[in-house]
Amino acid sequence: MFTRKQKHLLLKFFSMFSVVRGYNILVIVIAQYLASIYIFAHDKLLPEVVLDINLFMLVLASASTIAAGYIINNFYDSEKDLINRPEKSKLDKLVSQNTKLSFYFVLNFFAVVLASYVSFRAVIFFSIYIFGIWFYSHKLKKLPFIGNLTSAILTITPFFAIFIYYKNFETVIFVHAMFLFLIISMRELTKDLENIKGDLAQDYHTIPIVYGEKVSKVMLTTLIMLTLIPTYLLLYYFDVGRMNYFFYLSTLFLAVFVVLLWKSKTKTHYLDITGEMTTIEKAYLMGDKFKKAGIIVSPATAFDTLPTDSVALKLKSLLPDANRIKLAFKVNGRGTFSAGSAITGMYRMHKGCLIRKNGKIKRVSPLYNKHNVDFGDGEPVQVGIWTWADIYSGYYSTKVPNIEFYTPLSDTQLKKALKYDSFKYRILLRFPFLRNSKIEKIKKKFRNPSYEARLKSSMNIFGQANNPNGDKVIVKLKTCDSYIFSGRGPIALANYISKNDMEPGFYTAGQIAGPDFVTTIEGAEEFEILK
């Protein structure tokens, strides 16, 4: 039996193996040797190729660089993978990001050392390869076409290193390379189709997101047709030996794939629980594409957006000609913000305090319109402007041009808000390494509220609408703890969508089932309406 420490180390090993995708690296190593034996150095004896120490060093350097590439790709895609591959992400997170980055630098250094055994040109080659992988993971993979093209090139680069080593310039080599490039391009585009939800949430501009699912399927079909060209040449114009069976099987599998591709119509709907302003805006702008795809997309379906958006819609129904809405919420009891919520707020700090005025986003001081709000459970509370996603969701829901969001802020908290709203802090927080330093401090300072604390906590939402004639209406709502509600709300909306025949497209949280739906969710009370 393993001890607890041994089990922990074993899990760490499997976690790291998952991050570097050891199974993929093993396949690439075998593929490099097979390509060397049967393609690049087919005129050499088998022992001469297998026992070539320079080839061994190049294969090891390739494996080390690819492993490092998977690590840096995992680092940049950690949030996206939580959405697309939640189970794998759980395993990957057993190893800290700092440990992963340490392995990343060690593996890249090891690759350069191995390459130096072969030649200085090999060192230059792998140095460029390492930079290319990092630049792709950091920037290029978010871009349509360029990201797919770069990924395909980087995937075949290890074979290119061996190609240069053996200096075999036979035409058949280039035809093989064309076949491999097209197959890899198909794989990358297929991955983009599979990862739409995570790419959308993280603002990736992949081909399926920018041009839609149908265009992606047409492009995949085109790539399959193009793949038939090198396949035909390899089968009927070159002597590929027993590899002809591989190409016949490949053609068969591609034919099956294209049939399944066009038959796939999952029409998966997407509900996002984050309250990110950029995500809401992007989803809204892509509403027509969602309609064409036949899917429903609704960002920000948890707390605070679901109840506050419902309050905004309720206000609009009670005062149709409203031209101003102000919203606010207050935490009651022992509930606190989690570290995650605090970090999200910190990311917004460099943007300053925002309101929507005459339909446009405007930056204001934290002291803007400081006043007291009666939430209905005691003495009025002083509130100040705080940037929440409602200035987007509430606007898209109601089309009211002036929307402000407030949160309880004491005089001490307002001083802190003014500090973080200063020009210095807003500039500094734009730099990732400074933001990361602040994030680490937040993680140490904030303790996620316990289950007992959440049970004793509740939320009060306040909404007020005004029209040009001076009429006013107030709507108040009370719900259970924000984190408990964030679990119940999206599930309730998902059930509603599954049971109702809804038009596809973009919806705010409140638009899905209407403003009154929020009161049917466990832990929410009826609206209190004051005119």
Q: What is the Cα–Cα distance from 213 to 192, expressed in whole angstroms?
A: 10
Q: What is the Cα–Cα distance from 292 to 294, expressed in whole angstroms?
A: 5
pTM: 0.60
Tell me whether domains 12-142 and 298-336+353-420+449-530 share a fold: no
What is the full per-residue pLDDT of the chain (531 aa) written as tens digits? 667 776 767 777 777 888 888 878 888 888 888 888 878 887 888 888 888 999 999 999 999 999 998 899 888 877 666 666 666 666 667 788 888 888 999 999 999 999 999 999 999 999 999 999 999 888 888 788 888 888 888 888 888 888 888 887 778 888 888 888 898 888 888 888 777 766 665 667 788 877 777 888 899 999 999 999 999 998 888 877 777 888 889 899 999 988 888 887 666 787 888 777 888 888 888 888 788 777 888 988 988 899 999 999 999 999 999 999 999 998 886 555 665 666 666 656 656 788 999 999 998 887 888 889 998 887 898 988 877 888 999 999 999 999 999 988 888 877 777 776 666 666 666 666 566 666 666 666 666 677 777 878 889 999 999 999 999 999 999 999 888 898 899 999 999 998 898 998 999 999 999 999 999 999 999 999 987
Tell how strand 402-408 and strand 371-373 pair up.
unpaired
- Would you list the domain boundaries of the chain? 12-142, 169-265, 298-336+353-420+449-530
β-sheet bridge partners, residue 496: none
- HEC sequence for 239-296: CCHHHHHHHHHHHHHHHHHHHHHHHCCCCCCEECCCCCHHHHHHHHHCHHHHHHHCCE
Q: How many CA atoms lie within 13 A of 371 on its CB side?
A: 11
CA-to-CA dists, residue 32 to 38, 60, 177, 183, 215, angstroms: 10, 10, 13, 17, 34
Q: What is the Cα–Cα distance from 378 to 267, expressed in whole angstroms?
A: 48
- Compute, in degrees rounded to 10, the torsion defined by CA atoms 23, 136, 103, 67: 20
What backbone torsions phi and psi does residue 364 show, to the nearest 5 degrees?
-135, 170
Q: Which residues contact 457 (CB under 8 A, 6 or more apart)?
A: 331, 332, 333, 334, 335, 449, 480, 481, 482
- HEC sequence for 328-361: EEEEECCCCCCHHHHHHHHHHHCCCEEEEECCEE
Could you say which architecture CATH assigns to the domain 12-142? Orthogonal Bundle (1.10)
Which 8-state DSSP code applies to residue 518? Answer: G
Which 8-state DSSP code applies to residue 379? Answer: S
**Assigned CATH class of 298-336+353-420+449-530:** alpha beta
What three-state secondary structure class fits 461? strand
- Compute, in degrees rounded to 10, the torsion defined by CA atoms 139, 144, 149, 150: 0
Q: Which residues contact 326 (CB under 8 A, 6 or more apart)?
A: 403, 404, 405, 406, 463, 464
